[in-house]
């Protein structure tokens, strides 16, 4: 090392030591400041590194050899998939036509179903039952399942046909239905049934809606294009599939600018009824009509008799409908007569109480017997043309203490159960929930599920 440079270094060190000895605080602060500045400078330098987008990119291509077709087919065989398809049973279905619509091509399965008494007895000749087929990739049948609910027991029946190592087997099972709520809404363009079809709402729901508002809306002649409705109703499900609809829980119907609303509520000790949202009963002791949908061909008034060719008092109401159309009792009661009665042909008479009697004439068949108890809406027979009838229709009469009355007037007078003060809080809570659901239904024209 140069002698002069060494002397200079020794003097610098000596002065630094003297300064540190006499001014330690100043020297410490100076060192700290230098370190902070150095750190900041390092940070600044680090934040201005090269832009990653400007860095060079290298593309690497490597050849990949796919498996051969045989190896791929073997791999697919390990993960075989079964296919499911559901169809609605038709009354004219055969074993072969049903399997064809289900996408099944299996001669052994078809031969079994043609001769199986369980399958033939429970499915062939029926309609509207859900049928599901599980098949393999070759369209062979593994399992066929049909579900239906034929009564109000809360149970559904399940037909199961399964492949076994030897052949096929069939059995009938029972399981409880589950109940869910569904929402729907629609707009009238031509008819109520066309509107519910467009909105995917079951026809049974439309029939209930017509019954609920039968005293305030004429569903045959009083609907207007643009009328709107929203409805909350029950869906009865089997294995997660809807097999039929249940009760309408709430509905609102805007008809010709007037809003009609209804809610189902059951007070303790009663069988339940419909009320508006203010708590006024909408249910009647009697239905307004003994038929779900029909046209009145002759009202309660004088008319020119089509057979006797004279003007006579018509003491009932005639409803035109095809032969076989169901006829229902308009109220609870006991069948007083079921048989043939002169010009009425096949007739059913129901006594509802000591004073009130209803008569259903020209029937094509009987669905009740004398002495049987019936409930409101229960089927008593079907439309026909027996007796003095020029064509298929129902003649309906309402008598009070033997005197004939206009059935529509009687139905409007026979108010249902009034809402009690004790039941009012529970009613208001339920009304709030259903009002919100109706608002949700109105927001969408399609059916939605609700928990």
- Tens of pLDDT, residues 261-272: 999 999 888 778
Residue whose token pair is 């129902």: 394
**Which of 353, 343, 342, 346 lies closest to 376, judged by CA?**
353
pLDDT digits (tens, 9 = 90+) for 267-290: 888 778 899 999 988 877 788 788
Report yes or no: 259 and 249 within 8 Å, Cβ to Cβ.
no
Q: pLDDT for 184-240, tens place per residue?
A: 999 999 888 888 888 889 988 998 898 888 778 878 778 899 999 999 999 999 888
Sequence-ordered list of residues with C-beta below 8 angstroms from that of 38, at least 6 positions apart, any chain: none
Cα–Cα distance for residue pair 368/378, rounded to 1 Å: 9
- What architecture does CATH give domain 295-413? Distorted Sandwich (2.70)
Whether 295-413 and 179-283+425-450 are alike in CATH topology: the answer is no
- Reply yes or no on domain 80-176 having CATH 3.10.450.350: yes
Going from N- to C-terminal start, the domains of the chain cover 80-176, 179-283+425-450, 295-413
Condensed to tens digits (0 to 9), the pLDDT of residues 92-127 reads: 999 999 999 999 999 999 999 999 999 999 999 888
Beta carbons of 263 and 277 less than 8 angstroms apart: yes
Which pLDDT score is estimated for 294?
A: 54
CA distance 92 to 289: 32
Separation CA 33–CA 20 (nearest Å): 16
Top-confidence residue, 30 or 111 = 111
Q: How far is CA 141 from the centre of its chain?
A: 30
What is the C-alpha to C-alpha distance for residues 291 and 293, in angstroms, rounded to an integer?
6
328: its two tokens: 């229902």
User: Using CA atoms in the order 248, 249, 250, 256, what is the torsion angle rounded to 10 degrees?
Assistant: 10
In angstroms, the CA 413 to CA 285 distance is 9
Domain 179-283+425-450 has CATH 3.10.450.350: yes
């Amino acid at each position: 090392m140069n002698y002069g440079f060494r002397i200079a270094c020794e003097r610098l060190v000596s002065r630094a030591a003297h300064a540190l000895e006499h001014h330690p605080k100043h020297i410490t602060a100076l060192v700290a400041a230098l370190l902070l500045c150095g750190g900041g400078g390092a940070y600044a330098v680090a934040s201005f590194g090269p832009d990653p987008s400007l860095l060079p990119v290298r593309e690497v291509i490597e050849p990949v050899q796919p498996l051969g077709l045989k190896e791929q087919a073997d791999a697919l065989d390990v993960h075989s998939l079964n296919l499911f398809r559901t169809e609605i049973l038709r009354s004219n279905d055969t074993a072969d036509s049903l399997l064809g619509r289900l996408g099944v091509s299996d001669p052994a399965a078809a031969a079994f179903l043609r001769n199986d008494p369980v399958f033939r007895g429970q499915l062939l000749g029926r309609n509207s039952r859900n049928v599901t087929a599980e098949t393999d990739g070759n369209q062979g049948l593994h399992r066929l399942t049909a579900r239906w609910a034929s009564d109000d027991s809360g149970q559904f029946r399940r037909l199961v046909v399964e492949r076994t190592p030897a052949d096929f087997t069939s059995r009938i099972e029972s399981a409880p239905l589950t109940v869910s709520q569904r929402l729907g809404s629609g707009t009238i363009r031509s008819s109520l049934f066309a509107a519910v079809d467009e909105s995917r709402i079951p026809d049974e729901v439309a029939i209930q809606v017509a019954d609920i508002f039968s005293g305030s809306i004429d569903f045959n002649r009083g609907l207007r294009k643009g009328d709107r409705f929203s409805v909350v109703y029950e869906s009865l499900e089997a294995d997660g599939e809807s097999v039929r609809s249940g009760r309408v829980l709430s509905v609102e119907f805007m008809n010709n600018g007037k809003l009609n609303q209804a809610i189902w509520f059951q007070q303790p000790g009663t069988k339940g009824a419909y009320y508006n949202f203010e708590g006024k009963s909408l249910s009647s002791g009697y239905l307004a009509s003994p038929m779900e949908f029909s046209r009145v061909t002759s009202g309660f008034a004088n008319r020119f008799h089509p057979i006797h060719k004279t003007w006579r008092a018509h003491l009932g109401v005639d409803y035109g409908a095809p032969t076989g159309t169901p006829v229902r009792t308009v109220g609870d009661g006991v069948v007083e007569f079921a048989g043939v009665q002169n010009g009425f042909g096949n007739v059913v008479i129901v006594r509802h109480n000591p004073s009130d009697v209803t008569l259903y004439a020209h029937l094509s068949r009987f669905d009740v017997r004398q002495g049987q108890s019936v409930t409101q809406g229960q089927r008593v027979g079907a439309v026909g043309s027996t007796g003095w009838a020029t064509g298929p229709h129902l003649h309906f009469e309402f008598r009070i203490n033997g005197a004939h009355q206009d059935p529509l007037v009687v139905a409007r007078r026979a108010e249902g159960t009034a809402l009690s003060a004790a039941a009012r809080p529970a009613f208001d809570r339920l009304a709030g929930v259903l009002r919100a659901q109706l608002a949700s239904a109105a927001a969408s024209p399609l059916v939605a599920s609700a928990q």
